[in-house]
A and B are shown apart, each in its own frame.
Chain A
Amino acid sequence: DGGITQSPKYLFRKEGQNVTLSCEQNLNHDAMYWYRQDPGQGLRLIYYSQIVNDFQKGDIAEGYSVSREKKESFPLTVTSAQKNPTAFYLCASSEGTDYSGNTIYFGEGSWLTVV
């Protein structure tokens, strides 16, 4: 089945640790995104990538890093510099970003909790 797979579903992080959230898609989409969602808030864009080996900062990129070495994969690292990382993280993809009418599809999300 085609789709977007995120792992792990639940992750606990100790203070000062880096953690990496995995996102894989088999939709052959060029563009991939990472959003963060906090209770009572909308989705906020962390990073996006339009093509392999290229990515752009979103609205809240500080304390996060990404890579895009393969078309199918867009992992997100939450670094120790991110002071308030507890949130629901959503990975998404779309055919591209360079034309309108381009629908974004989401993975199932990853819950990250700092303990």
Chain B
Amino acid sequence: GQNIDQPTEMTATEGAIVQINCTYQTSGFNGLFWYQQHAGEAPTFLSYNVLDGLEEKGRFSSFLSRSKGYSYLLLKELQMKDSASYLCAVRTASGGSYIPTFGRGTSLIVHP
């Protein structure tokens, strides 16, 4: 089985930087995804990491350490529209298929 942990809720100030952590325990690790989900809407893809290190994409960056079973999503220059749930998903290889398992998500509240 897999165990994926994320904080339930975080708050931050507009213009600031916030780091959302995700830890996982799994076998057959084959990549980690971050998705953003606004209330009542579908998740949208943010980033993908399969090798150790930092992937930067505009205001968003994602980091992975496979040896530590750890990832974080870094959001810079926070905007009010960044208030959403952020889902960490771990992909594992099973019987030739690669299916992601999602964490419970972190609800980020950005205030003025």
Please report A residues at the B interface, Cβ cutoff 8 Å: 33, 35, 40-45, 48, 50, 56, 58, 88, 90, 97-109, 111
Closest chain-B Cβ to A110's Cβ sits at a distance in Å of 10
Question: Which B residues, 19 to 43, have Cβ-Cβ distances below 8 Å to chain A?
Answer: 30-31, 33, 40-43
Task: Tell me if A97 and B87 are in contact (CB < 8 A).
Answer: no
**Cα–Cα, bound, A99→B93 (Å):** 9
B96 in the interface, Cβ–Cβ < 8 Å?
yes
Chain B interface: which size bin? 20 to 34
Task: Tell me if B43 and A99 are in contact (CB < 8 A).
Answer: no
Task: Tell me if B105 and A97 are in contact (CB < 8 A).
Answer: no
Task: Tell me if A100 and B102 are in contact (CB < 8 A).
Answer: no
Task: Tell me if B87 and A107 are in contact (CB < 8 A).
Answer: no
Task: Pick the contact of A98: B8, B33, B43, B97 (CB < 8 A).
Answer: B97
Task: Tell me if A106 and B33 are in contact (CB < 8 A).
Answer: no
Closest chain-B Cβ to A90's Cβ sits at a distance in Å of 6
Closest 9 CB pairs of A and B: A106-B42, A42-B102, A43-B102, A42-B104, A97-B97, A100-B30, A42-B103, A108-B42, A100-B31
Task: Tell me if B50 and A101 are in contact (CB < 8 A).
Answer: yes
Task: Pick the contact of B42: A42, A98, A102, A109 (CB < 8 A).
Answer: A109
